[in-house]
Structure 1
Amino acid sequence: MSQNKAGMIAGFDLTVPNANGIRDFYADVVGWKPKPLSMGDYDDYMMLAQDGSPAAGICHARSGNADLPPQWITYITVNDLSASLARVTEKRGEVLRQPNGTGPGGFALIKDPAGAVVALMQNPHPS
C-alpha cells in the first residue's frame, strides 16, 4: 500500500457511518483481515492483505471524519505539503481540510477543479 516516492499513491481510506459492517463486508468479499486501531472510545481498522501488509483503512464517520461522505479517499505523497497546498488554490482547487499535522504522514484533503476529493500526504520517506 505504501510508496516512498513523491507523487505515488500511499494508501486508501474509506470513512462510513458503520465501519464494523463495512469492515466485515470487505473481509468476506476480498479476504482482508481487520486490525483494530484505537480511536479512544471506538476502533477504526487497518485492513491487511493475505500476506499481512496494509491494504486500506476503514474508518467510522466520527470526530474529525464526521463530515466526510462515504467514499474511498486516496492519499498521494508530496515532498512539501505546504507548497503543494499553496499550488492547489493557485490552480483553482480548494483545500477542504487543513493539515492534521506537520512532518511525515501529515495530510490535508483537497478538491480539484473538477470536484474530485483526494488527500495529499507529506512523504514519510522523502527522496
Structure 2
Amino acid sequence: MSEASWCDITTENAEALVEFYEKVMGWKKEPVDMGGYSDYVMMKPDGTPVGGICHKKGVNETLPGGWINYFTVANLSNSLEHAESLGGKRVGDVRHHGKDSFCVILDPTGAPCALYEKGSD
C-alpha cells in the first residue's frame, strides 16, 4: 500500500507564495540553493517539514502548477510501467534525492502526482 510522503507546489512566483503560507499557516521557510536561486522547504513552527514551494524553472520547469503529492511505492520502475500501461504519463525523467528516486506523473484524468521510492540505507 502506498502512502503520501511529501507534497510541493511549483509556481512562477515562489517568493510571494512563501509569504502567503508564512502568514496564513504560520510556516517558516528554509531556503534550498538551486544554483542561482532558492526554492523553499516550509516548516511548522516546531521545525517539522510540511512541504516545498518551488520556482517553475530549472529542474522544475516542466512540472504542472498546483500542489503535487508524492506517494511512496515499493518499486518505482514497476509502478511507472503500470501507470503508463493504464493511461498515465511521465512528466520528465526519474530524479534522485539522495538515495531516493521519484518521478512526476499525470494520471489518466491529467491530475499530477509523483511516485517516490525510498532508497536503501
Percent identity over the alignment is 38
If each structure's strand is expressed as a fraction of its own residues, which one has the higher value? 2
SS at match of 1:98: strand
Alignment of 1:47 onto 2:48 = no
Superposition pairs of residues 85-124 of structure 1, within 5 angstroms: 85-101=80-96, 104-124=99-119
The 4+ residue runs of structure 1 with deviation greater than 3 A are: 101-104
What is the number of residues matched between the two proteins? 121
Q: More displaced, 82-91 or 94-103?
A: 94-103
Rounded to whole Å, the distance in 2 between the matches of 1:96 and 1:107 is 11
| Selected match of 2:63 from 64, 68, 78 | 68
Rounded to whole Å, the distance in 2 between the matches of 1:78 and 1:103 is 16
TM-score (norm 1): 0.87
Q: Residue 121 of structure 1 aligns to which amino acid in structure 2?
A: Y
Question: What's the C-alpha RMSD, in Å, of the aligned pairs?
Answer: 1.9
SS at match of 1:67: coil
Rounded to whole Å, the distance in 2 between the matches of 1:54 and 1:124 is 20
Q: Which runs of 5+ in 1 are unaligned?
A: 1-5
